[in-house]
Structure 1
Amino acid sequence: MNEDLIAKYNVPTPRYTSYPPANYFHDKFTNEDYEKVVIASNETTPQNISFYIHIPFCRHLCHYCGCNSYPMAKPEIIEAYVEALKKEIRKVIPLISKDRKISQIHYGGGSPSSIPLHYIQEINELLLSQFECIDSPEIAIECHPGYLDENGWMQLIKAGFNRCSIGVQDFNPKVLKGVNRRPSLLEMETIFGLLRAFNVSINMDFIYGLPYQSVQSFEETLQKATALKPDRLVTFSYAHVPWVNKAMMILEKNGLPSPQEKSAMYNAAKRIISSKGYQPIGLDHFVLPDDDLSIALQSGQLHRNFQGYCTRKTTGQVYAFGVTGISQLSMAYSQNTKSIPEYIQKMNDGEFAIIKGYTLNREEQIAKEVITTLMCNDRLNWKELSAHIGVGESDIKNAISYDENKLADFEKDGIITYSPEEIKITQEGAIFVRNVAAAFDPLMKDNTKMYSKPV
């Protein structure tokens, strides 16, 4: 990677897992607003339902984590939290049309697999008893392999999961110790054997840019990972945001790789994984050619929400449950309180626990489609997008920050190719897709928000 380009484009930029980003949410969005937008969501697209369940507890907190995680609580608190989750589900479900179908259920955290797993099965049974599902819905959970024995993996299979995302992060013991993460309890080959026997799809998640990592060590980790042939591989760039998690300051003391080293890790990862037959999807995912995400990318039908990439088929409006859970509806976002005691109390009182949210105006809804399409598919065809959202091409461009001079600059630097009809991210420019998306973002004109850097 050209060091001049890194210097030019490695500036704080939104990740665009949502538009607008979550730091635009505000506390004037109320419980009443949430109930109204849930009811209104029945009349908007997509019609599919995606449920997100947030389990905030972790047995150990990793120093790199920017998620909404909390130390493991006492058993009675875990039980009270799960009961509160069920109450929230039962409060929202009557607001959603029974004509709609579930396309996704996703558990995140925290470490969802850290609590007694019979609770997870109970929640799944509750959700699946209320709605029909599309053919082959995705029922997925993020798993910490450091605390799951053979019985634990079998319990997840029994609970109905057909996709497990295994948070490996790195196979190097020194790296794991430096970030306070436990290594896998079982050999990874054993885990794969258990899951494969029941046709469970397997994701493996890794992070680059951590202390004690080098290009060589990360290559070794990915060689081991690709030898296992998971269905999907994810290589996240470590986002250093110590204003979100003060524990990240510990990683500074241990020594973080430079942007140039991180760029070299990214390129090495892409080279190794691609050489094993995987296709890159967006910034950080790699899938096999027959994967649904690969097929969707070829047709420009790839989508993304807070839970990761999905196809148009499995895309649903997201209804989130639990502390900090963010619902992603067509017209609005809403987020629950971060306080576990407050959340439990609100549910016991029969109330919602919304702490903030955001309602999108027409222009922002258009910008959301533009940025999501570009971030997911590495290309933007104005005619196709116009047909998809039912808005004229000129109206789309008027709603965003469309600047020919900026596009020409990106093309000169080899980040994109473009014509009046279409913009494409180049292979070399993929790492800077966030910068291109930000160039279309009207909210970035007078922006004072804080973000991580692309590299």
Structure 2
Amino acid sequence: MNEHLIAKYNVPTPRYTSYPPANYFHDQFTNEEFEKAVIASNKTHPQNISFYIHIPFCRHLCHYCGCNSYPMAKDEVIAAYIDALKKEIGKVIPLLDKSRKISQIHYGGGSPSSIPLHYLKEINELLLSEFECTEDPEIAIECHPAYLNETNWMELIKAGFNRCSIGVQDFNEKVLKGVNRRPSLLEMETIFGLLRSHGVSINLDFIYGLPYQSVESFEKTILKAVSLKPDRLVTFSYAHVPWVNKAMTILEKNGLPSPQEKSGMYNAAKRILTEKGYQPIGLDHFVLPDDDLNKALLSGQLHRNFQGYCTRKTTGQVYAFGVTAISQLSMVYSQNTKSIPEYIQKMNNGVFAIIKGYTLNREEQIAKEVITTLMCNDRLNWKEISAHIGMDEAEIKNAISYDEEKLAEFAEDGIITYSPEEIDITPEGSLFVRNVAASFDPLMKKGDQSKRFSKPV
């Protein structure tokens, strides 16, 4: 990677897992606004339903984690939390049109697999009893393999999960020890054999940019990963945000790789994966050629929500449950309280536990479509965007403050190629797609200095 590009573009920039980013949500958003938004969502697109369940508990907190995670609670607290989840589900479901179908259920955390697994089966059964599903819905869970034995993996299969995202992060135990993470309890080959024998799709998740990692060590990790041939493999860039998680300062003491070293790790992983036949998807995913995500990318139909990349087929408006969970409706975001006791109390009192949210105006809805399309598909075709949202190309460009000079600068640096009809991110520019997206962001142009973001590399 050109060091000049890293020096120029490795600046704090939104990750754009949503638009606007979550740090734009505000606390004036009310429970009443959320309820109205849920009802209105029945008449907007997409029509499919995605459910997100947040399980915040972890048996062990990793120093690098930027997720909303909490130490494992006592059995009675977990039971009370699950009861509160069911009550929240019970408040939202009556607001939804029963003719709509479930295309996705996703469990995140925390470590969803850290609690007694019968609770997850109960929640799945509750949701699936209320709605029909699309053909081949995705029922997915993020798993920490350090605490799951063969019986536990079978429990997940019996609970109805058809995709498991296994958080390996690194196969190097020195790296894991340096970030306070436990290695897998079972050999990965054993886990793969068990899940594959029951038709479960497998994602492997890794992080690069951690202490004690090098290009050589990360190459070894990725080579071991591809030998297992997961359906999808994810290489997340470690986002150093110590203002979110103070434990990240511990990693500074252990020594973080430089941006150049991180870039080397990403490029090495990408080289190995593409040589083994994996196709790059968006910022950080790699999939086999026949994967639905690759088919969606080739047709320009790749999409994304807080849970990750998805196809238009599985895309739904996201109704999220649990502490810190964020619902993503067509025009509204809504986030629950971060306090587990407050969440349980609110649910027991029969009221939503929302602490902030955001309603997109028309300009922001246009920017959302443009930025999401670019972030997912590494290209923007103005005619396609125009047809999708039913708006003239000139009006779209005006809404996002289209800047020809900025695009020319990106092109000169080799990050994009562009014409009046289309913008394409180059292979060399893939690390900096966030920077290109930010150039279309009206909120970034307002220059709110109170917002803090991680760096692309």
Q: Write out aligned runs for 1:346-361 (5 A).
A: 346-361=346-361
2:83 corresponds to: 83
Deviations along 1:337-382, whole A, 9 cap, x unmatched? 0000000000000000000000000110000000000000000000
Deviations along 1:305-334, whole A, 9 cap, x unmatched? 000000001000000000000000001000
1:202 aligns with 2:202: yes
> 2: CA distance between counterparts of 1:88 and 1:336?
11
Report SS of the residue matched to 1:113: helix
Report SS of the residue matched to 1:424: strand
> 2: CA distance between counterparts of 1:142 and 1:188?
15
Unaligned runs of 5+ in 2: none
Q: CA deviation at 1:396?
A: 0.6
Residue type of the alignment partner of 2:408: A
> 2: CA distance between counterparts of 1:123 and 1:275?
41
Q: Write out aligned runs for 1:220-259 (5 A).
A: 220-259=220-259
Between the two proteins, the alignment pairs up a number of residues equal to: 455
Deviations along 1:81-123, whole A, 9 cap, x unmatched? 0000000000000001001000000000000000000000000
Report SS of the residue matched to 1:428: helix
Deviations along 1:211-230, whole A, 9 cap, x unmatched? 00000000000000000000
Q: Write out aligned runs for 1:376-391 (5 A).
A: 376-391=376-391
Report SS of the residue matched to 1:32: helix
Report SS of the residue matched to 1:429: helix
> 1: CA distance between counterparts of 2:448 and 2:218?
35
Deviations along 1:178-225, whole A, 9 cap, x unmatched? 000000000000000000000000000000000000000000000000
Report SS of the residue matched to 2:428: coil
Q: CA deviation at 1:392?
A: 1.2
2:318 corresponds to: 318
Report SS of the residue matched to 1:262: helix
Decide which of 446, 451, 454 is 1:452's aligned counterpart: 454
2:431 corresponds to: 431
1:216 aligns with 2:242: no
Q: CA deviation at 1:169?
A: 0.1
> 2: CA distance between counterparts of 1:265 and 1:26?
37
2:26 corresponds to: 26
Q: Write out aligned runs for 1:28-427 (5 A).
A: 28-427=28-427
Deviations along 1:207-260, whole A, 9 cap, x unmatched? 000000000000000000000000000000000000000000000000000000
Q: CA deviation at 1:401?
A: 2.1
1:8 aligns with 2:8: yes
Residue type of the alignment partner of 1:48: N
Q: CA deviation at 1:33?
A: 0.6
Q: CA deviation at 1:171?
A: 0.2
Unaligned runs of 5+ in 1: none
> 1: CA distance between counterparts of 2:398 and 2:48?
30
Report SS of the residue matched to 2:42: helix
> 2: CA distance between counterparts of 1:164 and 1:317?
21
Residue type of the alignment partner of 1:418: Y
Q: CA deviation at 1:450?
A: 0.4
Deviations along 1:123-177, whole A, 9 cap, x unmatched? 0000000000000000000000000000000000000000000000000000000
> 1: CA distance between counterparts of 2:18 and 2:5?
26
Report SS of the residue matched to 2:140: strand
Residue type of the alignment partner of 1:407: L
Deviations along 1:54-96, whole A, 9 cap, x unmatched? 0000000000000000000000000000000000000000001
Residue type of the alignment partner of 1:450: R
Residue type of the alignment partner of 1:352: F
Q: CA deviation at 1:391?
A: 1.3
> 2: CA distance between counterparts of 1:277 and 1:337?
43
Report SS of the residue matched to 1:352: coil
Q: CA deviation at 1:390?
A: 1.0
> 1: CA distance between counterparts of 2:233 and 2:225?
8
TM-score (norm 2): 0.99
Q: CA deviation at 1:389?
A: 1.1
Q: CA deviation at 1:395?
A: 1.1
> 1: CA distance between counterparts of 2:408 and 2:395?
21
RMSD (Å) for aligned C-alpha atoms: 0.4
Q: CA deviation at 1:447?
A: 2.7
**Identity percentage of aligned residues:** 85
Residue type of the alignment partner of 1:395: E
Report SS of the residue matched to 1:407: helix
> 2: CA distance between counterparts of 1:44 and 1:304?
17
> 2: CA distance between counterparts of 1:170 and 1:117?
25
Report SS of the residue matched to 1:350: coil
Report SS of the residue matched to 1:296: helix
> 2: CA distance between counterparts of 1:369 and 1:433?
15
